[in-house]
Structure 1
Amino acid sequence: MKKLFLVAAVALMSWNGNAQDKESKGLEGAWWAGGQVSFSKDDNGTSETTSSTFVPVVGYFITPDVTLGIGIGSISSKTETTGTPSLTTAETSTFIVQPLVRKYWSLGGKFYFFGQASLPMTFGKDKISDDKITSVGLDIAPGFDFFVNKWMTVETSFSLFNATSTSNKPNVGDSTSDFSVNFNPFDLNPGTRTVGGLRVGVKFLF
């Protein structure tokens, strides 16, 4: 712990020698912000699907190498026929809350390895059928972080293991539930983003 403390302190002091008091603590006490923002549109000739994701994440380093964070946002998707007039055939809206904890290990210089555990909780609604779908999961994701400067890092990670409990409450009929466990670190297809989906992003420190 003391070794990690000193490594983090030296690394940060090399970026800005005028902030010695703050940097002597490494990352302890620093806030950070990141998240995911995306928009996509797919037209197969007969229908068009648009989807958007907005999940900002903020966190706080409680020690030089441990941070707590939480992401709150939404995912929406809508499919319409391409005829005139168009017809909505599918539309969903999902609210997401995801607390997380992350532990860092220095690899030397500005490179760090981390292990992250998160608890994603989703609350979704099918706007066509009025069905409600909720889920609670556990996700374990290792990754690497490169500190570009004192206020920005570039990170990449993949999901190594996850377990999810899902409940489906239809507008008509009985509720159903499902529990799944997945372990497949070699599935790096970013289109599925289930297990092993490679994630690359930017994090800002302040």
Structure 2
Amino acid sequence: MKKILLAGIVLLGLNVNAQEENKGLEGTWWIAGQVAFSSTDNGASETKSNTIVPIAGYFIAPTTTVGLGIGVINSTTDTGSVTVAESNTFIVQPLVRKYWGLGGKFFMYGQASLPMTFGKDKITDDKTTSIGVDIAPGFDFLVNSWMTVETSFSLLNITSSTLKPSSGDSTNSFNFNANPFDLNPGSRSIGGLRVGVKFLF
């Protein structure tokens, strides 16, 4: 009887350990984001822009996570002491990722996101809205229990944009291409890499 009871306890312990291993990162929160500042001066004019997009996510399954990025892009162009262009863009980007282990601490993932931007030209009062679908594969390296280093590139995207001028009719455009959608369309070459750090908690 004691042997049977002991065997039952051992099997129960093994089952709990197996469940914990199969759980992976399920129930884990993470934060990441994009921060960029740039300044271009061609002698006649100077353009300054900044992008701040914090992203938070949650592992809903051992190898699947969902996330949401919310941020802004601001851009200003000055000629001497006169501002000739100024725009503000609000960004919302929900995403989902699926991970596959490559061995050790290396993982590959596929990401699908739905970037949406809502911009306004503060000089002309024109408004621009765009909605896109972006597919991006990437690689993740688990540095320790609370930090990873990841890199990814945009494989393809679909973007629909609407320009609504302060006066006149709106115009629509639709694009299906392999250009990376880096929240600033056209700012990177095809397949341009994104490298970042993700914090787990």
TM-score bracket for this pair, using the shorter chain length: 0.7 to 0.9
Runs of 4+ in 1 over 4 A off after TM superposition: 20-23
**How big is each residue's C-alpha offset from its partner over 1:173-199, in whole Å with a ceiling of 9 and x where there is no partner?**
1000011000268xxxxx823652211
Give, as a single letter, the amino acid of the residue that structure 1 aligns with 2:169.
D
> Any conservation in 2 of the 1:119–1:137 contact (CA below 8 Å)?
yes
**How big is each residue's C-alpha offset from its partner over 1:63-121, in whole Å with a ceiling of 9 and x where there is no partner?**
1100000000000100001x3xx111111100000000000000000000000000000
Q: How does 1:21-60 map to 2 (within 5 A)?
A: 24=21, 25-60=23-58
Q: Residue 148 of structure 1 corresponds to which residue in structure 2?
A: 143
Give, as a single letter, the amino acid of the residue that structure 2 aligns with 1:63.
A
> Any conservation in 1 of the 2:145–2:200 contact (CA below 8 Å)?
yes
Give, as a single letter, the amino acid of the residue that structure 2 aligns with 1:58.
A
Q: Distance in 2 between matches of 1:178 and 1:164?
A: 8
Q: How does 1:1-206 map to 2 (within 5 A)?
A: 24=21, 25-81=23-79, 83=80, 86-183=81-178, 192-193=187-188, 195-206=190-201
Computing the radius of gyration over CA atoms, which structure comes out larger, 1 or 2? 2
Give, as a single letter, the amino acid of the residue that structure 2 aligns with 1:30.
T
Give the TM-score of the pair, scaled to structure 1: 0.83
Gaps of 5+ in 1: 1-19, 186-190
Q: Distance in 1 between matches of 2:42 and 2:49?
A: 15
Aligned-residue sequence identity (percent) comes to 70
Gaps of 5+ in 2: 1-16, 181-185
> Any conservation in 1 of the 2:157–2:179 contact (CA below 8 Å)?
no
Give the TM-score of the pair, scaled to structure 2: 0.85
Q: Distance in 2 between matches of 1:42 and 1:152?
A: 33
Q: Distance in 1 between matches of 2:101 and 2:179?
A: 26
Q: Distance in 2 between matches of 1:102 and 1:66?
A: 6
Q: Distance in 2 between matches of 1:120 and 1:39?
A: 20
